[in-house]
Chains A and B, each alone.
Chain A
Amino acid sequence: MKQRELYLFVLPALVIVAAFAVYPTVYNFVLSFRDVNLISFIRGTSRFVAFSNYLEIFKDSTFQSTVLNTLVFTALSIFFQLVIGFLLALLFNYEFPLKGFLQALIMIPWVMPIIVSGSFFRWCFSDDGLLNNFLISLGLIQEPIRWITSKSLVIFSLTLANIWLGIPFNFILLYTGLRKIPEELYESAEMDGASSFQKVLYITIPLLRPVIITTVALGCIFTMKVFDLVWVVTKGGPGGASHLFSTLSYSLAFDRFQFGKSAAVLVVMLAIVLALVAWLNLMRFEEP
C-alpha cells in the first residue's frame, strides 16, 4: 500500500530513462545484428545478418586504429590528468590570499562549452596556428609541426587537449579528498623528521587511495565517452586516423548511413566501458 504510492515519485524519472535510454540501448543491440542502411531502415526491410557487422568492423583497419587510439587517448589522458590534478591539489591544500578566486579559475575548462574549447584547439594546433607560431618565434622549432594534420601525431595532440579538459574535475575530487586527511598525521610525521616528499608518499597517497581509484574510474568513463572534442577538432581525420569509438560510430551512422555497423561499434564500446567499470569497482573494495 504505502510502497505503491512511493513508486509514483520515481515513476516519471523511470519512464523517461526507460523510454529514451534503456529502449535505445536494447534497440541498438538488435540493430547490430541486422543489415541496416538508410533505405532498408525507412522501408523496414533490414535483414538479420548474425555477426557479420562485427566481423566486418573487426577486419576494418580504421576500426583497428580506433581501438589503438582509444587506448592511447584514455591511458595518457587519465595518467596526466591525475598527476596534474594531484599536484594542483597539493598546492591548494593551504590557506593563502586569493585562493578562492584562483580555484574558481581552475574550474574554467570544465565550465566552458566543449565546442568552444574544441574550436580553440583547432586553431591552436593548425599548421599555421597559435602553438606553431609560438614555438617558431621562440626558436624552438624551424618548421611547423603538423599537430593535427599528421596521421601519427593527431591522436597525441587530441590527448593533450583532453588532458587540459579533465584537469578541473580531477583537481576538485583530489582536493576534496586531501582536505579530509587529518592535520595531526602530518604534524606527528614532522616531529619524527619526515620530509615533505616523505609525507606525500607515506601519508597522503595511501590515505587518498579510495579517492584516487574513484577519480580514475570516473576518468575512464568520461574519457571513453569523449565525442565533442574530437568531432570539432578533427572529425576523426585526417583519413580516419583520430577516430575514437564514439566518433567512428557517429560517422558510420550519419556520414555513411551504415547503421548496423555503427551499432556494432557502439556495442563493443559499451562492453569495454562496462567491463572497465566492473573491474574498477572491484578494486575499490580490495585491500591495498
Chain B
Amino acid sequence: MKRKKGVKWTVLTAIPTIIIVLPLYFIAIGGFESVTEIFHRPPYLFPPNPTIAYYIEAYNALSSYLKNSLIISLGVLVITLSTSVPAAFVLAKFNLFLREPINLLFAFVQVLPSTAIIIPLYLVFTKLGLINNLLSAILGISVFLIPFAVIILRAYLVGIPTGLIEAALIDGAGYFRILRSVVLPLSSPGIACVSILTFLLAWGNFIVPLAFLKERSLQPMSIGLFLFIGQYGVEWNKLMAGSMIYTIPPLIIALMAGRLIVAGLTAGAFKE
C-alpha cells in the first residue's frame, strides 16, 4: 500500500485545506455579527459580540423556503431514481439494438448548459400554464439529473454478474422481478450514492426555480436568500446566517457520506 507519513504531513496538508474551507468559516461567523462588525477593518477572525439573534431571525424568515427546498429535492429524488434505475439496469446489462444512440442522448443532455434548456422551457411552460407550479421546477431539475444518474448507475450495474441474471431468466423470472430481487439488492451502494448526489444537486439548484417559480410561497432556499438583498442594501448578517442554515444539510451529508460522494463522482467520470 501507499507509504505512511506522520503528523507533520497532516499539518502540511491541513494548511491548504484550511484555506479552502475559510469561506465557509467566514459565512458561519458572519451570521453571529452585526453588519458593522462584518465590514470591520481589520476583519474579525472571531465574532467580538456573538449573538444568535440573526440566525433565529433568518430561520424564521426562511422556514417556508426550507420546506419548499425539501419538497422539491425529494420530488426530484423520486422521479430521478424511479426512472434512472430501470434505465441504467437495461443499458448496463442488455445488448439493446438502440443502446448506443440512447447512451449518446444521455451524454448529450449532460453536456447541455442549463440556460439552453431553461429559457426555451420557460416559454413552453408558459404556454402550458406550468409557471409557478412546483412540478415545473421538479421536472426542470430532474431532466438534468436523470442522465447524470443513469451514467453513474450504469457504471455500478455493469459489475453485476450476467450469470445471475441469466439464471433468473431460466428460472422463469420476468425482467421486473429480476430488477427487484436480483439487481436492487446488489446495487444498493450505487443507489445510495446516486441518491445522495441527486439530493445535493437538487437542493442547491438555483436557475430552475429562478426561472419558473415567481410566487414567493413556492420558492426554495436558493431564491429565498435574496430576501436579505434589498433595494437599499444587503442585510449581510442575516444573509450569512441564512446561507449557513441552507448549507448545514449538505454539509452533514458530506461529512457523513464523503466516500460515497467521491465514489459516485469518479464512477460517472470514468465510465470505461
Chain A residues with a Cβ under 8 A of chain B: 3, 5-7, 9-10, 12-14, 16-17, 20-25, 27-28, 31, 41, 87-88, 91-100, 102-117, 119-121, 123-124, 128-130, 133-134, 136-137, 164, 167, 169, 172-173, 176, 179, 183, 211, 214-215, 218, 221, 224-225, 227-228, 231-232, 245-246, 249-250, 253-254, 259, 262-263, 266, 269-270, 273-274, 277
Contacts and interface: CB of A to CB of B under 8 A. Distances in A.
Interface in B1-42: 1-7, 9-10, 12-14, 16-17, 20-21, 23-24, 26-27, 30, 38-42
A120 B113 contact: no
Contacts of B239: 119
Given A28-B116, A92-B13, A225-B113, A13 B21 contact: no
B253 interface: yes
A95 B5 CA distance: 6
Given A103-B258, A112-B24, A112-B250, A24 B121 contact: yes
A22 B43 CA distance: 49
Interface string B61-91: 0000000000000000001001110110111
Interface of B: 1-7, 9-10, 12-14, 16-17, 20-21, 23-24, 26-27, 30, 38-43, 79, 82-84, 86-87, 89-91, 94, 96-98, 102, 105-106, 109-117, 119-124, 126, 139-140, 142-144, 146-147, 150, 175, 179, 200, 203-204, 206-207, 210-211, 221-222, 225, 236, 239-240, 243-244, 246-247, 250-251, 253-255, 258-259, 261-262, 265-266, 269-270
Contacts of B38: 123
A91 B262 contact: no
Nearest to B203: A113
Contacts of B83: 12-13, 16
A104 B17 CA distance: 10
A10 B14 contact: no
A94 B3 contact: yes
B254 A98 contact: no
Contacts, number: 287
29 contacts: A3-B97, A10-B86, A14-B102, A16-B143, A20-B117, A20-B140, A24-B116, A25-B112, A27-B124, A28-B116, A87-B16, A95-B4, A96-B5, A97-B10, A98-B14, A104-B255, A105-B17, A109-B20, A113-B206, A120-B23, A134-B43, A173-B265, A176-B262, A211-B270, A221-B111, A225-B113, A227-B114, A245-B115, A246-B114
Contacts of B122: 253
A21 B110 CA distance: 10
